Structure 1
């Protein structure tokens, strides 16, 4: 039986998380090692890392903010994080390719939801590509249509889960 552990991030995780991010997203969409380090230096408690049998297999991250909608500036400026903001954003949900379709991403989403609820957030906002709208809907996210985000020069759909 496999052992799964989820823990919050810290600055020492930056290099490993950047490697996972590079495996999961095209270069134009992936956060750089520097962006991940900046995010970890400001809001490490909003990074959840999933280990399976001691190996890092995925993570989820995002800032909290007063803003209701996710925008591209948030990806680039960790300083926009407001710990007391009512909305939890998701910037990335990463599962290494060899561990996909095994429930890893779902474990991370459920843990992130539980943490946001415990912190008294209004809900969670993410953007995703069309092919993943149905996936996030399984977790209660509602499609709000095409996002204003042009991150990575692709079309994104904004989805929201309200508690």
Structure 2
């Protein structure tokens, strides 16, 4: 398995994976991903197995310390010199889950953010995944103000 940065050629595969991993009301669209890949391609990691994308993580960089719903739709909120790496989604196709794919790609994102001098990473997750992100050092900051997709989210932060 290989982790690399996504390219525009990956757009269709990424959009299809997103729809397999998130309910339609929470999933980003192909248009959203196209904008993200245009504005901040260096913050869009994919994992491949024999040329097939099986997992990905993406998110902008900002000085904002809280992940806000508007960030999902407005890639222009990205600030190359921002202090916080936001994570919008951790996607792994079902047949590759529980094999360490998400763990490997999250560790790469953490490594890259630390190497870039960021203060840390921020994400939101559902209650059932709190323990998963805590194993990477993320701290639960409580129920998020996010109403993305109509779900209840928790703010999680990893500070270096």
Tell me the TM-score normalized by structure 2. Answer: 0.98
Structure 2 matches for 1:1-163, cutoff 5 A? 4-163=1-160
Q: C-alpha separation between the residues in 1 aligned to 2:92 and 2:133?
A: 15
Displacement of 1:47 in angstroms is 0.5
Displacement of 1:16 in angstroms is 1.0
Count of paired positions: 160
Give structure 1 regions of 4+ aligned residues with deviation exceeding 2 angstroms. Answer: none
Tell me the TM-score normalized by structure 1. Answer: 0.97
Q: C-alpha separation between the residues in 1 aligned to 2:35 and 2:51?
A: 25
Displacement of 1:55 in angstroms is 1.7
1:95-125, Cα deviation, whole Å (9 max, x unpaired): 0011101100000100000110111000000
1:34-53, Cα deviation, whole Å (9 max, x unpaired): 00000000001100000123
Q: RMSD of the alignment, in Å?
A: 0.6
Gaps of 5+ in 1: none
Gaps of 5+ in 2: none
